[in-house]
Amino acid sequence: MKSGDGMATTLMLAAWLLAAMPAHADIYKYVDKHGRVILTDKPTHTGYKRLVKTWKGWEEAKSRIALKDFEKNRSRFTSTIRQYAERYQLPHSLLHAVITAESAYDPEAVSRAGAVGLMQLMPETARRYGVSNRRNPADNISGGTRYLRDLLLMFNNNVQLALAAYNAGENAVKKYGNNIPPYTETQNYVKKVISYYHEYRKSMT
C-alpha cells in the first residue's frame, strides 16, 4: 500500500469513528509517532486532545490543558469565582459551568477567533468591561461575569438565552426573535453549559 493510500485510509477511519462515537461522550484524539490517529472517549494519557464539533467540523478544543490539571485549576480559581459571583449576584455554579465549557479552567486558553482566558473574552468585550489583560484570571473572570450578568438582565433572566448570547453574541439572539440561534455550535454550547450547571449545583454548596 502506498503511504498516501495509508493516510487516506486512516483519515477515513477517523471520520467513521467520530460518527460512531456516542453523542454524549467527550471525544479525544491522539496522533502517534507513525501518524496514526487514535480516537477514544477514555484517554489513557495526557497526550490526547479533546475534540469539539463546530460548524466547520471536528476541531481541537480551545483549551489544551492536561486532564490532570483540570481539578487543580478548578480548585485554584474557586475562591475568585465565588468572589465575583457574589459581587455580581450570580450563582457561582453557573460561572463554573461557563468556565468549564469555555476553557476547562485554562487561563492561557486562546480560541481560533481570538477569545482569551478562562471565560474566553473577545477583545471588544474586554474593552467594554475595562479588562486590559485578558490573561489575568481575576480580571478575566470579572469581565466575563459582568458580561453574563448584563446578558441575563437583557434577556429577562432567561439562562439559556443569556448563554446563547455569550456564545454567539446578543445580536444573534435578537435576530432570531429572542430565541437560541439555529447554529449547531451555539445550541450544543447551551446544552453543555446547562448540563454542567446542573451538575455543579448538585456538587457545590
Same domain? For 153 and 172 the reply is yes
Q: Name the domain count of the chain.
A: 2
In this predicted structure, the answer to whether residue 197 has a pLDDT above a threshold of 90 is yes
> pLDDT value at position 97?
95
The x, y and z cell numbers of residue 26, run together, are: 467527550
Considering the domain architecture, whether residues 16 and 114 belong to the same structural domain is answered as no
Q: Are residues 78 and 179 in the same domain?
A: yes
Residues 158-184 have pLDDT tens digits of: 999 999 999 999 999 999 999 999 999
Asked whether residue 134 falls in the same domain as residue 195, the answer is yes
Largest CA distance in the chain: 63
- Averaged pLDDT, 37-61: 64
The grid coordinates listed for 20 are 460512531
Percent of residues, the chain, with pLDDT higher than 90? 59
37-40, strands of its sheet edge to edge: 37-40, 27-31, 49-54, 57-60
Buried/exposed 90-125: b ≥16 CB within 10 Å, e otherwise: bebbbbbbbbbbbbbbbbebbeeeebbbbbbbbeeb
Report whether pLDDT(93) > 80.
yes
Residues tagged active-site? 102
- What digits encode the pLDDT tens for the residues 97-133? 999 999 989 998 888 888 999 999 999 999 999 999 9
Give residue 25's pLDDT: 56
Domain with residue 148: its CATH number is 1.10.530.10
Residue 102, pLDDT score: 93
Residues 193, 150 share a domain: yes
- Separation CA 24–CA 119 (nearest Å): 23
Residue 17 lies in domain: 3-60
Q: Who contacts 63 (Cβ-Cβ below 8 Å, separation ≥6)?
A: 50, 103, 104, 105, 106, 109
The pTM for the full model equals 0.70
Residue finishing a domain among 27, 60, 93: 60
Chain length of the chain: 205
Question: For residue 46, is pLDDT > 70?
Answer: no
